[in-house]
């Protein structure tokens, strides 16, 4: 790299740092809105957020960035493909092209449309009035197709939309994987339906908020969450957010009559945060200072929430502490009853409340319906009934209304149709694949978890996954870390082992 190239590379990074900082400011405004902002602040906040988003978009699509990328193309070609600089350049190029490929006028039209749709959804869902949403959703479908068309050369029209969340993933890869998963899970749900169930009503006793929060934060800290670089606050819909490399926050929601809700949401968001906190400090304020895809992100939250946080070994260590925190509420509940209660499998209507076994069926139903809508095989008018039929077929439950049926998730009413749901199931699959690799490398991890120690696991994840940030795509990461592309076997083996022990042979 000569001096001129060095100066251009420095300028490119400086320009990107502004995009990164504006994105952090936008996240801060949103975090405040979702935690502490008084209700009357809403109108001004919407204006402020729109301004910051617009400034970030202008910076991200500045033609100067395109010129610098072009000027540095020959330098990039000379780099070893494996180098950090090559990955850095590739990611910036991709982010720039993605941001500029969609015309500004379309972005404005789409943003306004989904903002209106979201507002109608907040009223139509409680009123169980899908018909009111139908014309909005029809337009969303139309705009989603148009959005995909800005990225010609796809094999399936959903591919460009999936690529925005899970770069490199395609319908051709996901569909057969999900179909195998669906069949296996549906057969397990049938088996479990005939098994006796543990009584979970004790989870609905009164558990005071302060103790719930303290217990969750104690585990977050034990997992490795750094409270000098983050904090936890309360919100309605829990999320993790990042303002900068050293300010990665989590939020939770506490229901005093539901012990599991805040606890597992804290463990989940902690997993997301550990990923962001573990990225190499050298990538600070660059395009690499982020998790590589939504699927990989979800794999880290689900790994800590489920593979660790809902395991027997984990609770062998932590249940005495939980019981000491809530001595009256849990006096008559032994470890085994608690363990079975937090792992009870039961088909239900609501995705976000689903257990580990049925959860992916909820996701796959949405993924299939998205594809059928985009392919034109299903109309928006037919969607509610298609939803009910799929729930009956796959989960054996039929939503009595659209409120807890097709209108339950915000995704289709606040963004495009397509690319919204696959990450959740991909995350579960990858979590098991990564975890199996960690156990292969360090079989002592499970015993350590039984002693409330997570250092070996956390260090392995930092070294193999977190520190790389967005350097590798999900596929590259999987191959490097596990020696294989995305594969279902570790996940099926994990579920089968765990739930056979709870419910009998699967
Ligand atoms: Zn998540």
Regarding whether 361 and 478 lie in a shared domain, the answer is: yes
Question: Do the domain assignments include residue 181?
Answer: yes
Regarding whether 213 and 83 lie in a shared domain, the answer is: no
Q: Ligand 1 centre from 426 Cα, in Å?
A: 12
Q: Please say which residue of 89, 124, 159 terminates a domain.
A: 124
The DSSP code sequence of 208-258 is -HHHHHHHHHHHHHHHT--TTS--EEE-SS--EEEEETTEEEEEE--BTTB
Regarding whether 306 and 187 lie in a shared domain, the answer is: yes
Question: Do the domain assignments include residue 405?
Answer: yes
Residues of the chain with pLDDT under 50: none
pLDDT tens profile 442-465? 999 999 999 999 999 999 999 999
Regarding whether 42 and 189 lie in a shared domain, the answer is: no
Q: Ligand 1 centre from 295 Cα, in Å?
A: 9
Q: Ligand 1 centre from 264 Cα, in Å?
A: 11
- For the entire predicted model, the pTM comes to 0.95
Q: Cα separation of 89 and 99, whole Å?
A: 15
Q: Ligand 1 centre from 293 Cα, in Å?
A: 12
Q: Please say which residue of 67, 101, 124 terminates a domain.
A: 124
Let me know: does 270 contact 227? Beta carbons within 8 Å.
Answer: no
Q: Please say which residue of 109, 124, 139 terminates a domain.
A: 124
Regarding whether 180 and 116 lie in a shared domain, the answer is: no
Regarding whether 97 and 216 lie in a shared domain, the answer is: no
Active site residues: 269
Domain count, the chain: 2
Host domain of residue 476 = 171-503
pLDDT tens profile 131-161? 999 999 999 999 999 999 999 999 999 999 9
Regarding whether 299 and 381 lie in a shared domain, the answer is: yes
Regarding whether 120 and 193 lie in a shared domain, the answer is: no
Query: Residue 447: what pLDDT?
Result: 98
Question: Do the domain assignments include residue 165?
Answer: no
Question: Do the domain assignments include residue 141?
Answer: no
Question: Do the domain assignments include residue 423?
Answer: yes
Regarding whether 314 and 453 lie in a shared domain, the answer is: yes
Alpha helix segments (H runs only) across 2-129: 3-35, 42-60, 63-71, 73-78, 84-101, 104-124
Q: Ligand 1 centre from 268 Cα, in Å?
A: 6
Which CATH number characterizes residue 457's domain?
A: 1.10.1370.30
Query: Residue 112: what pLDDT?
Result: 87
Regarding whether 229 and 91 lie in a shared domain, the answer is: no
Question: Do the domain assignments include residue 150?
Answer: no
Q: Cα separation of 137 and 157, whole Å?
A: 18
Regarding whether 220 and 86 lie in a shared domain, the answer is: no
Alpha helix segments (H runs only) across 125-208: 130-149, 159-165, 171-193
Regarding whether 346 and 260 lie in a shared domain, the answer is: yes
pLDDT tens profile 31-52? 999 999 998 998 899 889 889 9
């Amino acid at each position: 790299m000569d001096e001129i190239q060095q100066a251009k590379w420095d300028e490119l990074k400086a320009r990107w740092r502004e995009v990164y900082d504006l994105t952090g400011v936008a996240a801060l405004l949103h975090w405040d809105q979702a935690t502490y902002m008084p209700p009357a602040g809403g109108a001004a906040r919407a204006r402020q957020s729109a301004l910051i988003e617009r400034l970030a978009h202008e910076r991200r699509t500045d033609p100067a960035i395109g010129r610098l990328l072009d000027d540095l193309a020959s330098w990039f070609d000379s780099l070893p493909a494996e180098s950090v600089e090559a990955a850095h350049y590739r990611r910036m190029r991709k982010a720039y092209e993605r941001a500029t490929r969609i015309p500004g006028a379309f972005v404005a039209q789409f943003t306004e449309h989904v903002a209106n749709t979201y507002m109608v959804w907040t009223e139509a869902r409680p009123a169980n009035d899908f018909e009111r949403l139908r014309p909005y959703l029809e337009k969303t479908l139309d705009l989603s197709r148009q959005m995909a068309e800005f990225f010609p050369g796809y094999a399936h029209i959903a591919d460009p939309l999936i690529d925005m969340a899970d770069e490199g993933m395609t319908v051709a890869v996901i569909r057969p994987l999900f179909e195998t998963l669906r069949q296996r899970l549906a057969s397990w749900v049938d088996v479990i339906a005939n098994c006796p169930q543990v009584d979970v009503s004790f989870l609905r006793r009164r558990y005071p908020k302060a103790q719930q929060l303290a217990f969750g934060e104690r585990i977050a800290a034990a997992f490795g969450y750094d409270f000098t670089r983050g904090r936890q606050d309360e919100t309605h819909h829990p999320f993790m957010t990042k303002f900068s490399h050293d300010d990665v926050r989590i939020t939770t929601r506490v229901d005093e009559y539901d012990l599991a809700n805040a606890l597992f949401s804290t463990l989940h968001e902690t997993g997301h945060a550990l990923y962001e906190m573990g990225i190499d400090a050298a990538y600070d304020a660059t395009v690499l200072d982020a998790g590589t895809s939504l699927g990989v992100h979800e794999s880290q939250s689900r790994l800590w929430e489920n593979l660790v946080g809902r395991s027997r070994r984990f609770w062998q260590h932590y249940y005495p502490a939980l019981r000491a925190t809530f001595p009256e509420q849990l006096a008559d509940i032994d470890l085994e009853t608690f363990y079975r209660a937090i792992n009870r499998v039961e088909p239900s209507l609501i995705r976000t409340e689903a257990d580990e076994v049925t959860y992916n069926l909820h996701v796959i139903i949405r993924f299939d319906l998205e594809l059928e809508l985009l392919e034109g095989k299903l109309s928006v008018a037919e969607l509610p009934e298609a939803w009910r039929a799929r729930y009956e077929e796959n989960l054996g439950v039929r939503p009595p209304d659209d409120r807890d049926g097709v209108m339950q998730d915000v995704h289709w009413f606040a963004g495009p149709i397509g690319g919204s749901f696959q990450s959740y199931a991909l995350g579960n699959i990858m979590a098991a694949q990564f975890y199996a690799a960690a156990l292969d490398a360090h079989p002592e991890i499970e015993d350590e978890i039984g002693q409330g120690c997570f250092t070996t696991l956390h260090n392995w994840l930092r070294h193999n996954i977190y520190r790389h940030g967005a350097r590798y795509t999900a596929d590259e990461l999987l191959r490097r870390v596990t020696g294989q592309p995305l594969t279902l076997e570790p996940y099926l083996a994990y579920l089968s082992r765990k739930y056979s022990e709870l419910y009998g042979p699967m």
